[in-house]
A and B are shown apart, each in its own frame.
Chain A
Amino acid sequence: MSKELIRLRDCVMSYGDEVVLDHINLYINDKEFLTLLGPSGCGKTTTLRIIGGFLSPTAGDVFFDGVRMNDIPPHKRAVNTVFQRYALFPHLNVFENVAFGLRIPKADRDGRKVKLPEREIHQRVMEMLEVVNLKGFEKRPVSALSGGQQQRVAIARALVNRPKVLLLDEPLGALDMRLRKDMQIELKRIQQEMEITFIYVTHDQEEALAMSDTVVVMDGGRIQQIGTPEDIYNEPKNAFVADFIGESNIIDGIMRADGVVEIFNRRFQCLDKGFEKDEPVDVVIRPEDVDIVDEAAGQLRGTVTAVTFKGMQYDTIVDFYGFKWLIQTTDYCPVDSRIGIKIDPDGIHVMKKSQYSGMFGDYSSYSEEYEELDVAEPEDGEEDGSREGGYEE
């Protein structure tokens, strides 16, 4: 649909023995909103700084429009950055902060340095302040602005130079929840209005899913998965991605045949194919993909160990044969009740085993505080009693 703008080829970044980026291969399309998502220390900011020109990769190449850019300094790249803590110039007011890039003479077609006329600078700054809803603030010192306003000055200061690519390094990190949500919508609007490529770094998976065209999930200096938000959420490639994006129950399973996976010695229909027969796999089941039914009708049966009201749903922790699942449901199931569950084939996601297998997915820790409260957990044979209301004792 659109053409490739930036490519990282086999980028490695290491400091001595410590490898921060491990052979990153990535391309970014024109006008794309791409998010680098991962926990702190995963290499996402390093990747961004390599694209911005603040770091030079230890090995590998960076291409812009097919031209190798490894040794081009930041001030000669058609890229602008919105920094984590905005980095506004404290000695300049809002207008001069935004005008900073425009006041720098640029080489014209003949290679002569040309200054923009003051009228054009003024016009472009005012236009940009309007885009970020800061009209009337141009005379203010930046120290007199709130966090959200400073943030928008930083965005305007970068965008006014009409870069091909805007790099954003956790730009919403310092804002409160409410403002973050507003700014997410705002940023998406600006990106679409101005038709620029955004490369966005965040550790907030909700933010990544809400704004991006493409999400790149990173961990340990490696790319774990690249895909649309839907792909990443619905078809996580490994246990890390499944755990990092949203809540998930990750269970050991065995692939018995195409479309048949066995967990807890029961066979389930699924949509996944192409595994070896009897291959051990990780099975991801999203908490909202589980239907709670009567115990007798369930594919699996378990005991509720904790219920937390979350507004839209109840987060219910259910113990199935010693493995605790998180189930999000609108039905209230009291603690200690026995329930059954059903899972549709499209709610089951099968993944190859990886280095992350066994690290995530069990919700035992989630319910620790509740477990401390109920000392004796009824095992088998008490189903009837509990259903008749014995749980008040």
Chain B
Amino acid sequence: MRNKRGWFAFPYVIWMALFVVIPIVIMAVYAFTVADPATNATQASLDNFTDMGVYLSVFLRSFWLAILATLVCLLVGYPVSYWMAKEGPRFQRVAMALIMLPMWMNFLLRTYSWMSILENNGLLNQLFRAVGLLDLLGVDHIQMIGTSGAVVLGMVYNYLPFMILPIYSVIVKLDGSLLEAARDLGADSARVFSKVIFPLSLPGILSGVTMVFVPSVSTFAISNLLGGGNQMMLGDLIELQFLGGAYNPHLGAAVSMVMMAVVVVCMVVMNHFGEGEEQAVML
């Protein structure tokens, strides 16, 4: 080994082996076997994968909602990051604290509170009733809970900080003289943004997208609570196979494997796309 202090990495290697490699191996073993319900004996099989077709709608919904949530996070998060980066350090500290504040609360608690806001008799509907909006529309309530919109809202609410932070940290570090150079060469504000600021913030966007998309696509609590059971996503499907009534860890492991593979492929493609910009930031 070239690096003589390599053994310092040993605890990390053990950690990785125990909690990453071994679980994946176990998962793979489960995924490629089936259990005979009568005897409980297992045998190698690809049935888990070939039978997965019935869950295509769950796959599609998961990816669709995760993409939507990521897009909304990007559309909301980028301007917020940009605005924060342009303000003074005092403002930045306060804004950062406000963004982090909800994360001090338990994730489930936050999602439950959204439930009570979005319910048919929840805070929002009561507000609409009070201002006469519901009478105007001639309905008893506006259906919010149980819709895919509620699930996307829950994901955006929970994962938005993961979009803002990486983008903000890239923009705030942008060399001001680059912006001056662009203006000096004749670029107006719009062009400075589109030709300099935006391309140079791509690495931040990339890591933000990754950090929002991955937990979104695999979420189960949000879709379960805010989707009201109508919006089953991959996370819910997997949970059902392990903890729910449809107990079948072999199928659950197989679904997990497929999801992991798709996510990895997405990430590789995206990182490849953003490689040039990554180098730019290293400069």
Contacts and interface: CB of A to CB of B under 8 A. Distances in A.
Given A83-B177, A85-B177, A143-B283, A91 B184 contact: no
Given A104-B186, A143-B283, A161-B186, A90 B200 contact: yes
Contacts of A74: 180, 183-184
Nearest to A99: B185
A257 B164 CA distance: 77
B185 A157 contact: yes
A87 B175 contact: yes
B167 to A, nearest CB: 16
Contacts of B277: 91
Given A90-B283, A91-B199, A91-B200, A104 B187 contact: yes
Contacts of B178: 87, 89-90
A89 B279 CA distance: 12
A103 to B, nearest CB: 8
A83 B283 contact: no
Contact of B184 (A52, A88, A106): A52
Interface stretch (B50-58, B119-127, B188-196, B237-245): B188-196
Contacts, number: 69
Given A75-B183, A104-B187, A161-B185, A91 B177 contact: no
Interface string A178-209: 00000000000000000000000000000000
Contacts of A340: none
B102 interface: no
A328 B199 CA distance: 56
A101 B200 contact: no
The contact size tier of chain B is 20 to 34
Nearest to A77: B184
Contacts of A87: 175, 177-178, 180-181
B280 interface: yes
Given A75-B188, A85-B177, A100-B195, A91 B183 contact: no
A54 interface: yes
A291 to B, nearest CB: 50
A106 to B, nearest CB: 7
B215 interface: no
Interface in B250-283: 276-277, 279-283
B182 interface: yes
Given A90-B280, A141-B279, A143-B279, A100 B182 contact: yes
A140 B125 CA distance: 60
B245 to A, nearest CB: 53
Given A74-B183, A83-B180, A87-B177, 20 more contacts: A54-B180, A74-B184, A75-B186, A75-B188, A80-B184, A88-B181, A89-B182, A89-B196, A90-B200, A90-B283, A91-B199, A91-B280, A104-B185, A104-B187, A104-B191, A106-B186, A143-B279, A143-B280, A143-B283, A158-B184
Interface of B: 175, 177-178, 180-188, 191, 195-196, 199-200, 276-277, 279-283
30 contacts: A74-B180, A74-B183, A75-B184, A75-B185, A80-B184, A80-B185, A83-B177, A83-B181, A85-B177, A87-B178, A87-B180, A87-B181, A88-B181, A89-B181, A89-B196, A90-B178, A90-B200, A90-B280, A90-B281, A91-B199, A91-B200, A91-B280, A100-B182, A100-B187, A104-B187, A106-B186, A142-B283, A143-B279, A157-B185, A161-B186
Interface of A: 52, 54, 73-76, 79-81, 83-85, 87-91, 100-101, 104, 106, 141-143, 157-158, 161
The 6 closest A-B pairs by CB, nearest first: A101-B185, A87-B177, A87-B181, A90-B280, A90-B283, A91-B280
